[in-house]
Structure 1
Amino acid sequence: MNKVEKIGFLEKSAYALINVGNIPIMTLINSFLLIYYVDVVGISPASVGTLFLITRILDGISDPIMGFVIDHLPATKMGRFRPYIIIGAIFCVLNFLLLWFGPLLFTSIKLIVVYISYLLIGITFDIMDIPLNSMLPVMTDDLKERNSLSSLKGVAYAVGGLSIGIIAPLILSMAATPLQGYTIIIIAASVIVLLFTTLGALGIKERIEPISEEKYKVKDIVPILTTRPVLVTFGTQLFTGISSSISGATAIFFAMYVLDNRPEILSVIGIISLLGAFLGMFSSGYITNRLGKKVVYSAGLIIIALFTLLRLFDVTNITLFYACSFLGGIGGGLMIPLQYGIQADNVDYVEYKLNKRAEGVLASSNSFLTKAGQGIGGALPGYILAAVGYVPNVQQTPSALNGIILLSIILPALFMIIGAVIFGGGYNLNKQNTEEIMNELKVKRTEKLVLSEGMNTGEFSVSNIQNVNAAEN
């Protein structure tokens, strides 16, 4: 009854698969939608910036509501979260196609189409993303297994994101027209999302049940979200999300205009960054065991920022670009195995402090902060490009080139440093108190199980609980 159920190779493979399936939609939106709307669809950069900002704010308001709904949906034979991942993937892919191709099909009302589809992509993505990000805390309460799954999720995200960063620019550089390239990318991504998400959801299991069967109320959301580790994690995520969104949205501008129409450089950068990330991930476990998650995670953010800023010594030097990408990738790799484990630790902390199991509301709030970062990080490039005089598909002025450098190097590093300061100074969970929290929660679940078994068989006694607790210790 108390033996830890090990998670086998096939289930771990399914978990990796479903997380890879979660990557293409937002990665392509963050990396290519701005330049696609400006250079292909013909919308002004300032209008796209306003689109990103307004719709992300409106969409973000719905996230806590969506998390509350998902936490209160009825459990099925597949579990509390898995069926909704598949349902969400279907709706999200349909809207994803509309987001890219709708403005070209309905040119007279293209702004209306992009506003509606961009607002809906956040909502439909939530139906898939929030249950997926709620899975890790319910798959296992064993710290080693959880860390293993967290690392696997991080690797899947890194490999999936960087693979898109490698393959998509190659497709664009080889396509006869930009529209042809984007069409190939978007259709292929849609197939991958549906296939990987469905197969992955069918191959994983939910094992951890809440200690209390009572669902939390709307009034409980604020106390849940304002616990210290949750609040600090959210603040960190907001600023690092802004950094990543600005960097992702402007990398293609940097390659096209600062590096003189060389999008294939981004593919090489993706490979080099991935190699650096693997080195960081390989070292992360050993370093974390010695220094703790907070120190390693904060250091990873600082490393990324430092080697981004070093590119300023010669922004057109490709060798320097490669070297900084590799070394910055190491910083990212140090963080990858930790970030999803930190989120799962926060779920346990909330249950420990408030006796409320709230995977959905924490995952939805995580989604809200991600979207807020994407909204701000997506709007700033649009406004700054408009302010510096960017004109699509022509040789840029020195002012416009400086604006692209500001967006692709300086601002991402600045926001990353702010995130590091917030996390390093505010996060209060360490290895010792995390293990104590998890052990206490295990004891409570054991007591609940023994009580339930005793009531069903009529053989309940206090000594049953004492014996089981002794075995746990």
Structure 2
Amino acid sequence: MWEFHSGVLGASNPYEGRGETKGLLPNGCGVTVGRAGMVLRGSGRAFLLLQVDAFYASIILFVGRVWDAITDPMVGFFISKTPWTRFGRLMPWIVFSTPFAIISYFLIWHVPDISTGQVMWYLVFYCAFQTLVTCFHVPYSALTMFISREQSERDSATAYRMTVEVLGTVLGTAIQGQIVGKVDTPCVGSPFFFGLTNSSVAMEELNMTHDTGGLTDTRNAYMIAAGVIGGLYILCAFILVLGVRERRESCELQSDEPVSFFQGLKLVMNHRPYIKLIAGFLFTSLAFMLLEGNFALFCTYTLGFRNEFQNILLAIMLSATLTIPFWQWFLTRFGKKSAVYVGISSAIPFLILVVLLDSNLFVTYLVAVAAGISVAAAFLLPWSMLPDVIDDFKLQHPSSRGHEAIFFSFYVFFTKFTAGVSLGISTLSLDFAGYQTRGCSQPDQVHFTLKMLVSAVPVGLILLSLLLFKLYPIDEEKRSKNKKALQDLREESNSSSESDNTELASIV
């Protein structure tokens, strides 16, 4: 399974089972060359390496998700309360979180040579890594608001960031796939399993008799991949810190009364345009994560393209990469709401086509390209619209400043939330349908379920998200008015500061 908004694409071996992806992939570097953040995925594969019982694996995932839900808004609030330094307010968070994130990531894939305590080991470093990635990702995302005050420049920066972010995902996929893909795990013939009343017991017996040397090779491969990706993480963070500078507005030099966490949260969550944007973003993300998370299995089992799915996924990624600049031009020319309608809905006819027609490789590649085009729009546009919401908030609450990180932290939280919901829906649906882990083929119920997960359900969610985006109030006319009002507010603040300085000088 693979995932976009969390920055991961890791379906290099679907025979190993649902959710057993290839770990973490770097998303790129900085605002000018991508995003130097990584988000944990592939936990099921790590559990396989640790040979953790399924019950404890579920506990670890649940606790990790709950902990992540707590840390996202908390980190956003703490960043908003962080004093400015000569390096900025956000950069210190990025600099200090990077080395510890790499260490915790590396230790996740290191299997300790202890008879007891492995579950606690994984739980601690899983939660630690989630927290440290949040400490990087939230300030990194919020940098968009501090590199320029011009809407066009922020939109351009977002487009560059998303373009290279996808390129970073492709690079990470290639590196991870090449290193880990050399360790092959054969599939298991389905007739053997479908004739058993307790296939999970049979799978356990098979895993126990599996060559332990293969497991050792797999662990070594993941450790090597962790080291390589950790090095890329450092490189990306280094480029980001050296290449980007925060700009502080003059009005922020004035001292503000401290705002408590719940007061700031209430202000942000009561802003109606933000709620509507998050709602549309939530369903759009869920639609494409369901599509992306199950497309590899769909290609492998339902369409029968076992040897082609890697190229199909690459076609999606390249299509998304190449069309992000197009959507940047489109939103500049026709507006962001129009770009949302056209971009996100463009995948609907192709998603219907792929399940109605018989297995056809050409049609599958066509759908992959169309999906990439829509993914690019879904990837770019919500992040481009968020700064407009923050500008609108500043006009409605001119005396309350420094909440940018809170806005972005909840955006990051809902990205992770949709990833968890997508994984839960897919796992429960496929389990109910009788999915056989590492099976060479699947029963008819699984084929039907995969068709629903890559076609009917995403189409319904996309239509619902378009309805929510229709209610989003900030159109191009509203953006222009907000831009002029903010400019007037800044000029008034600057003139007030100059007047205060003049009066102070005359008194002295």
Same fold, TM-score > 0.5, yes or no: yes
The range that moved more, 393-402 or 189-198, is 393-402
The root-mean-square deviation of aligned C-alpha atoms, in Å, is 3.1
Contact 1:49 1:383 in 2 (8 A): no
> What is the match of residue 312 of structure 1?
355
> What is the match of residue 97 of structure 1?
106
Q: Point out the structure with the larger helix share.
A: 1
Kindly indicate whether residue 102 of structure 2 is the aligned counterpart of residue 59 of structure 1: no
Contact 2:251 2:494 in 1 (8 A): no
Q: 2:36 aligns with which of 21, 25, 35?
A: 21
Residue identity in the other structure for 2:126: Y
Contact 1:293 1:430 in 2 (8 A): yes
* Cα distance between partner residues in 2 of 1:45 and 1:256: 25
Q: 1:306 to 1:44 in 2, by over 3 A?
A: farther
> What is the match of residue 79 of structure 1?
88
Contact 1:169 1:267 in 2 (8 A): no
Residue identity in the other structure for 2:86: K
> What is the match of residue 389 of structure 2?
346
TM-aligned CA deviation for residue 221 of structure 1: 1.9
TM-aligned CA deviation for residue 460 of structure 1: 8.9
Q: 1:211 aligns with which of 251, 254, 262?
A: 251
The range that moved more, 248-257 or 332-341, is 248-257
* Cα distance between partner residues in 2 of 1:248 and 1:43: 27
TM-aligned CA deviation for residue 159 of structure 1: 1.8
* Cα distance between partner residues in 2 of 1:383 and 1:46: 15
SS in structure 2 at match of 1:134: helix
TM-aligned CA deviation for residue 197 of structure 1: 1.1
* Cα distance between partner residues in 1 of 2:47 and 2:362: 30
Any unmatched runs of 5+ in structure 2? 1-28, 185-216
Q: What does residue range 423-438 of structure 1 map to in structure 2 within 5 Å?
A: 423=469, 425-438=470-483
Q: What does residue range 62-461 of structure 1 map to in structure 2 within 5 Å?
A: 62-102=71-111, 108-175=116-183, 178-209=218-249, 211=251, 213-214=255-256, 215-218=258-261, 219-254=263-298, 257-258=301-302, 262=306, 265-314=308-357, 316-355=359-398, 356-357=400-401, 358-398=403-443, 399-423=445-469, 425-458=470-503
Contact 1:81 1:131 in 2 (8 A): yes
Any unmatched runs of 5+ in structure 1? 1-12, 462-473
Residue identity in the other structure for 1:164: G
Q: 1:14 to 1:447 in 2, by over 3 A?
A: same
Contact 1:309 1:410 in 2 (8 A): yes
Q: 1:243 to 1:223 in 2, by over 3 A?
A: same
Contact 2:142 2:405 in 1 (8 A): yes
> What is the match of residue 43 of structure 2?
33
TM-aligned CA deviation for residue 73 of structure 1: 0.8
Q: 1:335 to 1:377 in 2, by over 3 A?
A: closer
The range that moved more, 267-276 or 294-303, is 267-276
* Cα distance between partner residues in 2 of 1:108 and 1:390: 31
Per-residue CA deviations over 1:350-383 (Å, capped at 9, x if unaligned) read 1111123311110111122112112212222333
TM-aligned CA deviation for residue 455 of structure 1: 3.0
Q: 1:310 to 1:259 in 2, by over 3 A?
A: closer
Residue identity in the other structure for 2:271: T
* Cα distance between partner residues in 1 of 2:365 and 2:287: 19
TM-aligned CA deviation for residue 230 of structure 1: 0.6
TM-aligned CA deviation for residue 147 of structure 1: 1.6
The range that moved more, 112-121 or 201-210, is 112-121
Q: 1:172 to 1:314 in 2, by over 3 A?
A: farther
* Cα distance between partner residues in 2 of 1:413 and 1:55: 30
Pairs aligned (count):
439
The range that moved more, 250-259 or 179-188, is 250-259
Residue identity in the other structure for 1:222: K
Residue identity in the other structure for 1:415: L
**TM-score of the superposition, structure 1-length normalised?**
0.82
Residue identity in the other structure for 1:431: E
SS in structure 1 at match of 2:473: coil
TM-aligned CA deviation for residue 80 of structure 1: 0.9
* Cα distance between partner residues in 2 of 1:14 and 1:37: 28
* Cα distance between partner residues in 1 of 2:65 and 2:239: 30
> What is the match of residue 9 of structure 1?
none
Residue identity in the other structure for 1:321: T
SS in structure 1 at match of 2:84: coil
TM-aligned CA deviation for residue 59 of structure 1: 1.9
Report sequence identity in percent: 19
Q: 1:419 to 1:386 in 2, by over 3 A?
A: same
Contact 2:287 2:458 in 1 (8 A): yes
Per-residue CA deviations over 1:270-320 (Å, capped at 9, x if unaligned) read 432244324533432443244321121133222234433432135753322
* Cα distance between partner residues in 2 of 1:408 and 1:53: 25
Residue identity in the other structure for 1:311: V
Per-residue CA deviations over 1:132-172 (Å, capped at 9, x if unaligned) read 11111111111221121111112122222233345544444
* Cα distance between partner residues in 2 of 1:209 and 1:338: 26
The range that moved more, 202-211 or 160-169, is 160-169
* Cα distance between partner residues in 1 of 2:419 and 2:376: 21
Q: 1:49 to 1:226 in 2, by over 3 A?
A: farther
SS in structure 2 at match of 1:379: helix
**TM-score of the superposition, structure 2-length normalised?**
0.77
Contact 1:280 1:330 in 2 (8 A): yes
Contact 2:344 2:374 in 1 (8 A): yes
